[in-house]
Structure 1
Amino acid sequence: MPSKPYLDQSQVAAVLDACQKEADANGFAVTIAVADDGGYLLGLRRLDGAAPFSADVAAAKARSAAIGRKETQVFEDMINGGRSAFLSAPMEGLMSGGVPLIIDGQVAGSVGISGVKPDQDIQVAKAGAAIL
């Protein structure tokens, strides 16, 4: 029977903690969302000072990174590069800050960050992904 890796709650907490550590070290007020491989939310942490709207955006970025199986920066670049038809894809959060979480070469989930500049969102997301 085929098997696949998944995120357990200790890994979700570790990703949230790693992202928060990176955000705190840089003074970033962000929301951190962790999703499973189907894009369903497993954890959400809105740091002090993060705009309420950032919770929805972070969750959407996490979902898109999970179901798209790639960083959301790729989707943003496609759209900005002229592939506007991709806007009709059944996904939201097609902007920088969503990163897949890879275990044993497979997408086990994702992390989405919202609240600061695009490159800073990516920086925080990759800090969380790096712990796996």
Structure 2
Amino acid sequence: MKSNVFAGLVAMAALFMSTGLQAQTMRPFLDFKTADAIRDHCLASADQAGHAVAVAVFDDGGDLMSYSNHGASPAAAAVAQWKGRSAAVYRRATRETATWNAPTAPMIATMEGGVPIFAQDGTAIGGVGVSGASSEFDAACGTRATEAANLLVTRPASKSK
């Protein structure tokens, strides 16, 4: 009986070893501190320019990580979230998605002001949406804030993650 139990344990150990333990690989991600820094940088830029804006920062799955409605209207607040989530999920600036003629696609923004966020290696890690000023200012504000965090709003040409 003991030999059967031992043989069973050896067989089970061999089975587990044959499946192999897969090493986990680290990939860049957007953390809360960086999301808050992007939000705060954009709010400071808008304040300096005399604009009341809402800023929403999302992770690569489209989950809200940081948000502030800095005196913008409730409508602008909703639009900032719409733009940011679209940029995160589609991994394209909303200026581009606005030209896709796909208005019924889920979560797609059709107004400029949302930009995707990429790590330096080209990994998509989120998106930021800004609303309350002109669409051009909104997009520039999100872009400058992302770049101030040492991140990118366009994926390097050789990457496709």
TM bin (shorter chain): 0.7 to 0.9
Tell me the TM-score normalised to structure 1 length: 0.88
1:5-47 per-position Cα deviation (integer Å, ceiling 9, x unaligned): 1111110111011111211111111100000001110111111
Partner of 1:121: 138
Partner of 1:56: 78
Alignment of 1:20-39 (within 5 A): 20-39=43-62
Identical counterparts, % of pairs:
37
Whole-Å separation in 1 of the counterparts to 2:74 and 2:117: 25
Shift of 1:87: 1.2
Structure 1 contact 99–111 (Cα < 8 Å) conserved? yes
Kindly indicate whether structure 1 or structure 2 has the higher relative contact order, using CA contacts under 8 Å at least 6 residues apart.
1
* Secondary structure at the counterpart of residue 141 of structure 2: helix
More strand by share: 1
Pick which of 86-95 and 26-35 moved more.
Answer: 86-95
Whole-Å separation in 2 of the counterparts to 1:26 and 1:61: 21
Amino acid corresponding to residue 109 of structure 2 in structure 1: G
Which ranges in structure 1 are unaligned for 5 or more consecutive residues? 79-83
Pick from 32, 42, 47: which aligns with 2:70? 47
Amino acid corresponding to residue 105 of structure 1 in structure 2: G
Tell me the TM-score normalised to structure 2 length: 0.73
Structure of larger gyration radius: 2
Partner of 1:81: none
Partner of 1:89: 105
Partner of 2:15: none
Cα RMSD over matched residues? 1.3
1:60-105 per-position Cα deviation (integer Å, ceiling 9, x unaligned): 1111001111101001133xxxxx3x11211242210001111121
Which ranges in structure 2 are unaligned for 5 or more consecutive residues? 1-23, 151-161
Query: Where has structure 1 moved over 3 Å in runs of 4 or more?
Result: none
Q: How many residues in Structure 1 have an aligned counterpart in Structure 2?
A: 125
Amino acid corresponding to residue 130 of structure 2 in structure 1: I
